[in-house]
């Protein structure tokens, strides 16, 4: 009896692994599934009911992430208050959200629009970027933890790493300009945050 259960569990794991591989080998991601006219969600994406119940329990916990308003950065008195807020948030939480950070809404909107255009591209064009090679600076993939998580997420990701130099021709044409502009603005914000953190005594 125990042997039968064990074999069944192995068979299920084997089936799951094969399904995950088949999904990944399409290099089309979740968007590719929806674009294909899929009528039933594959079971690799269906989460057990007990897992969902546990998550809903956590969602009922009200957590307020610290928010730091950077609009007063040019005023020396306000700047001291901002530094203090950053200190408290860093020591208590280890992170914080910034608002009025100086990145123009037009830059943010253009970035979102560019990424939407990427996802709407022809699947064969998107496949050029599909990879699990984490050394690639521009990667399109579905579920970074696809082969290790209990359940696959209904999600695709376009990852662009700016820790190294990213050359314009590495970026998808549809979001190249908006990504480069966004990156410039984020670098300025990053430098601002480094200055604030460096003043924490």
Domains and CATH numbers, the chain: 2-198 (2.60.120.330)
Residue 2's pLDDT band, with cuts at 50, 70 and 90, is: very low
The pLDDT, as a whole number, for residue 18 is 93
**Which band of pLDDT confidence, cut at 50, 70 and 90, is reported for residue 55?**
confident
Asked if the model's pLDDT at residue 20 lies above 70, the reply is yes
DSSP 1: -
| Residue 51 to residue 150: CA distance in whole angstroms | 10
Q: Which of 42, 36, 37, 39 is nearest to 20 (CA)?
A: 42
pLDDT tens for 72-115 read 898 999 999 999 999 999 999 999 999 999 999 999 999 999 99
- pLDDT tens-digit readout, 24-54: 999 999 999 999 998 899 999 998 888 778 7
């Amino acid at each position: 009896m125990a042997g039968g259960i064990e074999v069944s569990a192995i068979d299920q794991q084997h089936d799951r692994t094969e399904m995950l591989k088949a999904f990944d080998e399409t290099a089309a991601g979740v968007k590719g599934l929806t674009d294909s006219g899929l009528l039933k969600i594959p079971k690799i994406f269906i989460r057990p009911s007990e897992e969902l119940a546990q998550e809903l329990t956590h969602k009922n916990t009200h957590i307020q992430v610290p928010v730091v308003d950077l609009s007063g950065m040019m005023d020396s008195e306000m700047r001291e208050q901002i530094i203090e807020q950053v200190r408290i948030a860093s020591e208590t939480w280890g992170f914080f959200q910034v608002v009025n950070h100086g990145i123009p809404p037009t830059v943010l909107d253009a970035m979102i629009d560019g990424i939407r255009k990427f996802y709407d591209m022809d699947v064969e064009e998107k496949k050029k970027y599909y990879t699990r090679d984490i050394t690639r600076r521009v990667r399109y993939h579905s579920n970074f933890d696809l082969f290790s998580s209990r359940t696959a997420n209904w999600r695709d990701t376009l990852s662009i790493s700016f820790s190294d130099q990213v050359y314009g021709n590495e970026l998808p044409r549809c979001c190249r300009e908006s990504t480069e502009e966004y990156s410039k603005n984020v670098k300025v914000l990053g430098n601002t945050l480094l200055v604030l953190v460096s003043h924490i005594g």
